[in-house]
Amino acid sequence: MVPITPTYRTHLRRWGKGTELGGHSPHLRSGIVFGEPAPPERQTGLEVAGLGANSPMLAALDAAGHEYDRAARSEATWRAYRSDCEDFARWCESVGLGAFPASEETVARYLTYLADLGRRPATLSRRLASISVAHQMAGYASPAQSYVVRERLAGIRRSVGVAQRQASPAMTPEIRKMVRSLPDGLYGRRDRLVILLGFAAALRRSELAALDVEDVRWVPEGMEVTIRRSKTDQEGDGVVVAVPYGSHAETCPLRALGAWLDATGLVEGALIRSISRDASVSLEHRLGRRLSTKGVSLIVARAARRAGLDPNGVWTGHSLRAGLATSAAKAGVPDRVIMVTTRHKSRASLDRYVRAGKRWEQVAAASVGL
């Protein structure tokens, strides 16, 4: 084992920003990064033929290959891997242990450290996944798969529990309150669109932030929203979600979209954008880049505060998607119809929303004469 090196940290910061992301990255396999000499490479048929390891042809293939490897995961996933591995490397350096390659005992101790800090099992599982990917990309066996590490994680899960604090569902009454609390002007129109479209189409934060103007098509029944890529559709097959007109003007997602487009004049590119606070500049310069997923959550949380919703609730971008599923279940919409909109791949994923929506339909204690 060797301690983490400054050079390794330099490469780690570049994860997600260059071609070294590829599963066969020379940076991640070299002794410069991991402190050990790379294993000798076997000559390929091309090298035997005289093209050589450094030929332009092979270099071009490697560069293209690294881009394909990078595309295997989303940019958000690469950022998460980088952040997790940086945390692991810092901890290993602080206690004098080698980070890459790491022993199974080192990883097990790291889990204990995180658990003692109060980190949830879901966080520990994600850190393990990042450590595992980093080792496999470097050509090492993953210590995260060892018996010692798996038992340590199982013990932590049983000791602290695995329940996560879920986002509070913003159901129809909460949506109405949030929309009514919004200010007038450009900010209000954008935030209204975020809340109503995110709710009506059951969009994830990433899906909402990724929408372009061209992804929305007006039809006689309402509008059709094309989601080109999502958490459960990483290969980009795409899906179209139908969004109907609302029964009330103030909560109609189509009217909210029309008001936003009329105010901004947008005809292409990112649909949901950041807005400059400098009211003295032209509208063209007030509209910024595509809104981030964090920006979506901030809009929902801010609207929840303005509306006076439960201060103990967890109001995030996911509250919109969870709220639509729960509201629909409570209204008696069949599960299969809800799944068409939410695009859940399995009933198990949808069940927690359905159970919440139908919780009071049949209660055993209500029928036993208490």
The answer to whether the Cα torsion of 39, 44, 49, 54 is positive or negative is negative
Residue in 152, 204, 273, 343 annotated catalytic: 204
Spacing of C-alpha 9 from chain mean position = 24
- Name the CA radius of gyration of the chain, rounded: 25
Instruction: Indicate the SS3 state at residue 208.
Output: helix
Q: Please tell me which residue in 17, 24, 231, 285 is annotated as part of the active site.
A: 231
Q: SS3 of 365, please?
A: helix
Catalytic residue among 66, 318, 330, 343: 318
Tell how far CA 322 is from the center of its chain.
15
The answer to whether residue 113 is catalytic is: no
Q: 244: which strand partners?
A: 222
Pair of tokens at residue 348: 């198990």
- Helix ranges, the chain (H): 6-13, 26-29, 31-34, 45-48, 56-71, 75-95, 104-116, 121-137, 147-160, 172-180, 185-200, 205-210, 253-264, 283-286, 293-307, 318-330, 335-342, 347-357
231 annotated active-site: yes
Beta-carbon contacts of 45 under 8 Å, excluding residues fewer than 6 positions away, are: none
294 given a catalytic annotation: no
Q: Is 81 exposed, middle or buried (0-12, 13-18, 19+ CB in 10 A)?
A: buried
Residue 353 bears catalytic tag: yes
Mind giving me the DSSP string for 257-276? HHHHHHHH---SSBSSEEE-
* Known catalytic membership, residue 285: no
347 flagged as catalytic = no
Among 8, 81, 110, 353, the one annotated catalytic:
353
- Peptide linkage before 101 cis (omega within 30 of 0): yes
The residues assigned a catalytic role are: 204, 231, 318, 321, 344, 353
